[in-house]
Structures are given as C-alpha cells and as structure tokens.
Amino acid sequence: MLATNFVTDSRMGTDYGTDKRMLATDSVTDSRMGTDYGTDKRMNDFDTLIGLVSQHSPSGQERGAVEWLVKRMKSLGYDESFIDAAGNAVGVMGKGAKQVVLLGHIDTVPGEIPVVLTPNPSPHGRGELLYGRGSVDAKGPLACFVDAVARVGVVEGWQFVVIGAVEEERDSEGARFVATQYKPDFAIIGEPNHWDRIALGYKGSAPANVAVKRGQAHSASGEQTAAEAAVEVWLKVKAYADSFNADKQKVFDKLLLTLRGMDSDSSDFEQWARLKVGVRLPVDVSPSDWYLKLNEIVGDAKVEPIGFAVPAWGCEKNTPLVRAFLSGIRSQGGQPRFVYKTGTADLNIVAPVWKCPAVVYGPGDSALDHTPNEHILLEDYEKSVQAAQDALTRLVK
C-alpha cells in the first residue's frame, strides 16, 4: 500500500482510544497539497468507521474493539449497548415488539495494516480512501449498520438490534450464540458486496479429512501404496463433482471442490495417506448429504468431518426487506443488483434458525478481503449508510 503522503485525521472530538496504529492527531492534512481539513465537518460522518477500523481485532482478540463499539453506540443514542455472554458487541434501539437484527462481525483475519486516509485524488480536497484491516471485511458493513440505525432512531412498535459478532473468521462462535438469543422479523447480515448490491445467497461448506491405510510392503513389490490410493480417491471425488456440475449453469448451484492438503507417513507395519478435502455446497446438497456421498465414493477410506459444517442458504427475493433495500439503493442513485456468493457467512448460521426474511448488505469490494491493501472508499460508505437508513425507514413505516 502507499507509504507516503498519507492523510491523517483529528478524530473530530471522538475518542478512539490509545491504539497507536490509528490515524495521527491534530488535523486532516494532505502532505502533497498542504491543505488542512481539520474543520471539514463531513469527517464526522466517518467517525464510527474510522474508529472501529482503528481497533486491531483479529479473531480471538476482539475485546478492545467490542468495548469501543459499545461505547460508541451509547454515544450515538442507542437505548442499550452491552457485551453479551459470547463477547459480542450489542446495541439496541427501540422497545417495540417487532424486531430487525443487523448482524455484522467485528473480528478480522490476522495481518495488521496501518490505518490511513489517502487522496484518491478527490475534488473534495480530502482523503477519500480508508486503508486498514477490516475496512472492507467486515467493519465497513458493521459501521454502516451502526450509523444507519442511529440515524433512523426509535420507531414506535419496532426494535433494531445491531450486533458486532466475534469469531466469524474462525468458527462463528458469536453468530452461533445470537442464533439462540433472538427471533427477529427481519435479518440483515453485514458483508462487503459493494454499496449498490444485495447478496441473496452463500454456499455451504463441509470440510473433511479422507484417510487411506495400507499394509507396509517392499517398494519393489508393485503393490499400491497408501499415497497412490489417496490420489486415486481424489480423482474419484473430483470425477463425481464434475459429473454433478455438468448440467449446472450457475456457480452457485455447483459443488466446488478444493484439495487443501495431502500428507503421508508410515510405521513399521503400516502406511497411510490423508487428503484434506474442502467443498462449497449448493443449496440442494446439505452437509450430511455430502458426507454420505463422500463415504460412498471413497470406499474403504475413512472420512473424518472437520470443523463446523454449514448448509448453503438462499434468501427469498420477493420480500418487504428486499424491496426496501432496492428502493434504498435507488434513493442514492444506484442501480441495484443481486449477487450469490461462493463463500460462507454468518447468514449460513442464523438464517436456518431464524427462518425470517434476510439479506446480506454492506459497502466495500470483497475482492480486497484479507489482502494487504484492504481499503474502502468513503463515498461508497456514505452511500451505503444512506441507502440502509432509507431501507430501514421504508421497512418499518
């Protein structure tokens, strides 16, 4: 990423803690243009985003960011803000019987990126790109939810619950907890898909180790080794997936296989080989369906499921929630589009439990997820907040 000519931010009176990784103080200054932007009130619109990104929070180390966000939501006028039993940050606006849960995640992948604003360049004469780990995945979407709900405020008969979940990048511990705590009428999941797109589906996942064992034999015996048998197993699994996918036009409907690792070893009397097989599942293949089929394909090899398997999920398109977001995006001059993703998200965890209308929304280019130059355009962030505010207003009116 850029190493010089950074734009620094005074915080406009907001306390972002003492994290030295955050932007420097005093004023917003572009060293190339020599302009002081310390009085630009528009920077207030980005205090939540900049402050949250400034909190380093890889999975397992989210506490500081959670505490900061709880404090931030309180300052924005939320009726309640607290840390729940799983360590999630939770903000509640309103006390109505009908509920909208906006679920983002506050953790990031490892890899620290200095939090800086840089010129685009911009006709506004200020920094337009915010660099930092999580600016896209997925503190941008989470901050968008926080700001949008704060702008909507209390609506009679409704309650908004904004959650910054922990551990999404590992085993989704935070989402697994909240799935049992709420029963919303509508759910909005925060992931980056560009401000003018709505994601309606995420594929499932069912990773497994496949182990092959063979008796020890002389290398000149001509007998099949465990490693050779494992290669043969992989080719069979791949052939099945190719056959399954042959008549599927959309990637979302296909089995997406990956061979994520292979190792082998031997003892005095036995040799073994192990494949680490990853798969992204379509909606019509559940994790249990896949494991049954995998056992059938591999014969005498042993299938060992690993981690947490999650089913694919496709959201209903014709709902008041989807229509509200379509209108919200259009209100900001956007041409809304739908997208179906090949990865997984907390949607896969909560949607099967809540069984309510849901969408996935958030600013940022997902192609920048987990990359060393992760950044978000402030203009896109502001549009996403306004679009979400409009959508929520339409949804609950």
**Which sequence positions are flagged as catalytic?**
107, 168
DSSP letter for each residue of 32-52? TTTEE-TT-GGGGGGHHHHHH
Q: Name the nearest CA neighbour of 234 among 190, 159, 174, 298.
A: 298
How far is 372 from 125, CA to CA, in rounded Å?
A: 26
- List strand residue ranges (DSSP E) for the chain, in order: 7-8, 29-30, 35-36, 80-83, 89-93, 98-105, 116-118, 129-131, 158-165, 186-190, 197-202, 204-205, 208-215, 256-266, 270-281, 302-305, 313-314, 337-341, 358-361, 375-377
Q: What tokens does 8 get?
A: 């620094």
In terms of Cβ atoms closer than 10 Å to its own Cβ (0-12, 13-18, 19+), residue 247 is exposed
- List strand residue ranges (DSSP E) for 267-387, in order: 270-281, 302-305, 313-314, 337-341, 358-361, 375-377
Q: What type of residue sits at position 262?
A: M
Q: Parallel, antiparallel, or unpaired for β 270-281 and 256-266? A: antiparallel
Q: Parallel, antiparallel, or unpaired for β 158-165 and 98-105? A: parallel
Sign of CA dihedral 49, 54, 55, 59: positive
As a whole number of Å, the CA-based R_g of the chain is 24
**Distance from chain centroid for Cα 159:** 24
> For residue 294, what are the CA distances in angstroms to 297, 301, 305?
5, 10, 10
How far is 104 from 137, CA to CA, in rounded Å?
A: 10
Q: Name the nearest CA neighbour of 278 among 257, 299, 254.
A: 257
> For residue 49, what are the CA distances in angstroms to 30, 113, 187?
20, 15, 21
